[in-house]
Amino acid sequence: MRVATLIIGLVLSVGLFIQSVLVAGLSSLGDDKQMQASGAAGFWMAFLWVVAAALVIAFPRVSLVLFVLAALLGFAGADHFPDLWIWGSGSLILALFSYLGYLGKRHEQAKQDALLDTANAVRAALATPAIRSTPPRIPAAATQIYCSQCGAPNPTTARFCSACGERLDADALPGLDAGQADLR
Ligand SMILES: [Zn+2]
């Protein structure tokens, strides 16, 4: 979209530039001040279009503003030179193109960000030992087991209670406090 806007903007700039040269040249022969003003408006529109087209890839929102400015310039000069209505309308369409290009750019950016996020998530997951090892015996949420003898919390990897030295076997279920463990 932005490439299309770039090309169309440049092509139209050339067209408008040529017409402006003709209008300004003819009007200077006839010494028509109004036509000269319209020719000048056309020059400025063509200039704005070239700049806007040049910026549309990197800064589509700037191009949008420039195309709108060019359109206003065209409409302002259209009183004496009706062709500027057409050029002005074309400029508004190019402004719309720029906006679509901006949306497209934002969409691409979002897609890239999402890809990056996914890549980072995968990398983080691969770096996490839990993914590399076999599924744990206990739910991932439980990070501790409680000693069946004294109720002290111990890491799930511990084989003996760190507080009383009791062997931590399958009876020491995760997440149970001392009282519940005693009831079993
Ligand atoms: Zn213990």
Specify if 72 maps to a domain: yes
60-103 pLDDT tens trace:
888 889 989 988 888 887 777 777 888 888 888 888 888 888 88
Specify if 113 maps to a domain: no
| Residue 146 DSSP SS3 | strand
On whether both 56 and 98 belong to a single domain, the answer is yes
Residue 138 Cα, ligand 1 centroid: separation in angstroms? 19
Residue 160 Cα, ligand 1 centroid: separation in angstroms? 8
Separation between Cα atoms, residue 96 and residue 8, nearest integer Å: 13
Has residue 179 got a pLDDT over 60? Answer: no
Specify if 38 maps to a domain: yes
* Local confidence band at 150 (pLDDT 50, 70, 90 cut-offs): very high
Residue 170 Cα, ligand 1 centroid: separation in angstroms? 14
* Local confidence band at 163 (pLDDT 50, 70, 90 cut-offs): very high
14-64 pLDDT tens trace:
887 787 777 777 766 666 777 777 777 888 888 888 888 888 888 888 888
Q: Please give the distance of CA 159 from its chain centroid, rounded to a whole number.
A: 51
On whether both 81 and 164 belong to a single domain, the answer is no
Average pLDDT of the residues of the chain: 79
Output the six-digit token pair for 82: 């009706």
Residue 152 domain boundaries: 138-184
Separation between Cα atoms, residue 137 and residue 130, nearest integer Å: 11
103-129 pLDDT tens trace:
888 888 899 899 899 888 888 888 876
Residue 17 Cα, ligand 1 centroid: separation in angstroms? 89
The pLDDT score that the predictor gives to residue 172 is 46
Separation between Cα atoms, residue 114 and residue 78, nearest integer Å: 47
Total domains in the chain come to 2
The answer to whether the beta carbons of residues 151 and 164 sit under 8 Å apart is no
On whether both 15 and 103 belong to a single domain, the answer is yes
Residue 153 Cα, ligand 1 centroid: separation in angstroms? 8
Has residue 181 got a pLDDT over 50? Answer: no
Specify if 130 maps to a domain: no
Closest CA to 12 of 70, 73, 99: 70
On whether both 170 and 90 belong to a single domain, the answer is no
On whether both 154 and 101 belong to a single domain, the answer is no
Residue 181 Cα, ligand 1 centroid: separation in angstroms? 11
Residue 134 Cα, ligand 1 centroid: separation in angstroms? 27
Residue 136 Cα, ligand 1 centroid: separation in angstroms? 22
On whether both 61 and 150 belong to a single domain, the answer is no
Residue 114 Cα, ligand 1 centroid: separation in angstroms? 47
Residue 148 Cα, ligand 1 centroid: separation in angstroms? 7
